[in-house]
A and B are shown apart, each in its own frame.
Chain A
Amino acid sequence: MKVVKNLYRDKLGRASFIFILLVMLLGVFAPFIAPHDPLAVDMKLRYAAPSWEYLLGNDHLGRDILSRMLYGIRPSILWVFVALILSVCIGAIMGFIAGYFRGNVDAIVMRICDVMLSFPIYVITIAIVAILGPGLGNILIAFILMKWAWFARIIRTSVMQYVELDYVKYARAIGRSHIHIIARHILPVTFSDIAVTASSSMGSMILQISGLSFLGLGIKAPNPEWGMMLSEAREVMFTRPELMIAPGVAIVIVVLAFNFLSDSLQVALNPQLRKPKNRSGLKPFKTVLNEKEVAK
């Protein structure tokens, strides 16, 4: 509750949160909000400039850009979000098992993580896309397969810290069940670490997945997706550069919002970072450390 209060006090964090929520809602309710069919081709309207009927203009096939942007929220953000949640869940389960029980289980899980993290994310995605064929689903599978290892590592470290605390030791000593201890004593305290890590990787995941769509490995045409729209716009980049504006700006703003939110979340969970100096430093440092983790 205190966290929510802290977050609420942070203006930028609050604005980012509301913005992200809004964007997600727009994506969920795209069919009701979108003014046109995102797939409807109308060759008469090719490259039409913005008008009252088509607020953002029309693309090379005369499709309504605004509607495509709205539908594009689904693969570009919502599905990425789902993939993130899934990999965090897998990572959390593995991290908890490793950090709580230690011993051989821990060793095995960590060695698997080591190997998974020895592949750069793009490389493994390309390998999986090569086997399963291009498609958004396959990319998301690749991401879930890769990212859980990263989360597992971080969550394990965090769990290990708390397992050593006296009240956890006490709970173990009086014979409480493992499930009880994890659910009651460890999950609540590690939750903040999980939330911060997850939120800080959302931005980079959006960028990476839209990048793969841009390469033509993601969602299949004619379905709208922001990276894909940029890829289509690139074909006519020299004659119609304005087509690159809407999807590009949208990605930048959404990723920025996620980055701001993750910064604020960190401060909210750990108020002593409120001092301006620390605050500006911490997040990227953690990111780099995480990348180092990934690299190891």
Chain B
Amino acid sequence: MGVFIVKRILITVPILLAVSFLTFVLISFSPMEPAEAILRAQEVPVITDELIEQTNEKLGLNKPFIIQYIDWLMDCLQLDFGDSYVKNESVWQLVGPSFFNTLKLTVVSSLVIILFSVLLGVICALQEGKIIDRILRTVLFVLTAVPTYWLGAILILFFSVKLDLLPTSGMSGMKSYILPVIATSLGYIGIYFRTIRSAMLNNLNEDYVIYGRSSGLSEKKITMHILRNSLQVSISIFCMSIPIILGGTVVVENVFAWPGIGSLSIEAILSRDFPVIQAYVLIVAVAFVIFNMISDILNAALNPRIRNDNS
């Protein structure tokens, strides 16, 4: 197990480096020259070539590309992403809090997803082919085809406007979580619930179930064994879903005016605030990679085959 963890972490490091390099390269393709953008942001009245040259010098933009990258990476590691072109704040001041807002939404949604996927998946597997199974499967299948933003709008119209139960947007207290979490979760529940259901059904035909029956075990005991093995799938799904949702909250955040990193990034694109975009891409990609790593490790920890592998 220890070996596995070390290996997995070692694989992650080069990927992180590559991701950061790509982010750096990508943004340096931006059509606007950084020095010019900064001077504009500082509202310098007349921008001369000389002034640009001076700024380049000051910011180290004349150095070789690779040195610039290393400097930038070192700064990033200290959470110094430079200053926003548009707002009078450092990028981290903008990105940091909104990243955590996104993270909160992601974690709550993942919990909801796993809870309902397991619940519905187990119900449907035990009732396979019966009316409940069919109805749930159909409803959830349809839900996977519903665009989140449309669903979000419908939820707002119904719960906030018509029933006046919940806030339409923003992030203020527990109540404001409900609608964004529902909008985020429903589609994923539709996918993951089917996975859990089929994991249960596959386990139903495993040899160990037949052997358990042939030994005379009660159905209750056998169901517990099946659940135990299917739960492993559920937990790996839980871990997997976090990074995927994290990377995809942009739309929901936009619909519900959630002050997260997705909303921030759209704002930054429309105002061409490159340092913010760069930080957004880097942070979300890094979080994505790291969550995936954690998910793999947790997965391994749950699997006795890997857990007890001492080699």
Which residues of A approach B to under 8 Å, CB–CB?
A: 111, 114-115, 118-124, 126-131, 134, 203, 207, 210-211, 214-217, 227, 230, 234, 237-238, 241, 244, 248, 251-253, 255-256, 259, 276-278, 280-285, 287-288, 291-292, 294-296
Q: B237-255: which residues lie under 8 A (CB-CB) from chain A?
A: 237, 240, 243-244, 246-248, 250-251, 254-255
Report how far A3 CA is from B211 CA in the complex, Å: 38
The closest CB in chain B to the CB of A125 belongs to B250
* Cβ contact within 8 Å between B198 and A276: no
- A to B CB contacts below 8 Å, 6 in the list: A123-B288, A124-B281, A126-B266, A259-B141, A280-B198, A291-B240
* Cβ contact within 8 Å between A120 and B145: no
- B269 at interface, CB cutoff 8 A: yes
Residues of chain A contacted by B218 (CB below 8 angstroms): none
The closest CB in chain A to the CB of B244 belongs to A291
Q: A210-B147, A230-B150, A296-B292 are in contact. Are A115 and B19 (CB under 8 A)?
A: yes
Which residues of B approach A to under 8 Å, CB–CB?
A: 15, 18-19, 22-23, 26-27, 29-31, 128-129, 137, 141-142, 144-150, 153-154, 156-157, 161, 191-192, 194-195, 197-199, 201-202, 237, 240, 243-244, 246-248, 250-251, 254-255, 262, 265-266, 268-270, 272, 274, 277, 280-281, 284-285, 288-289, 292, 295-296
Residues of chain B contacted by A276 (CB below 8 angstroms): 129
* Cβ contact within 8 Å between B19 and A119: yes
* Cβ contact within 8 Å between B147 and A207: yes
* Cβ contact within 8 Å between A281 and B161: no
Nearest Cβ on chain B to A288's Cβ, whole angstroms: 5
Residues of chain B contacted by A134 (CB below 8 angstroms): 269
Partner of A126, one of B137, B153, B281: B281
* Cβ contact within 8 Å between B197 and A280: yes
Partner of B137, one of A115, A203, A280, A285: A280
Q: A115-B19, A280-B137, A281-B194 are in contact. Are A130 and B269 (CB under 8 A)?
A: yes
* Cβ contact within 8 Å between A288 and B269: no
Residues of chain B contacted by A251 (CB below 8 angstroms): 145, 147, 150
The closest CB in chain A to the CB of B246 belongs to A120
Residues of chain B contacted by A280 (CB below 8 angstroms): 137, 194, 197-198
Residues of chain A contacted by B202 (CB below 8 angstroms): 281
Report how far A124 CA is from B296 CA in the complex, Å: 23
* Cβ contact within 8 Å between B30 and A248: no
Residues of chain B contacted by A255 (CB below 8 angstroms): 145
**Residue with the highest number of chain A CB atoms closer than 10 Å, among B22, B251, B292:** B251
Residues of chain B contacted by A215 (CB below 8 angstroms): 250-251, 254, 266
The closest CB in chain B to the CB of A116 belongs to B22
Residues of chain B contacted by A130 (CB below 8 angstroms): 27, 30, 268-269, 272, 274, 277
Residues of chain B contacted by A237 (CB below 8 angstroms): 153, 156-157
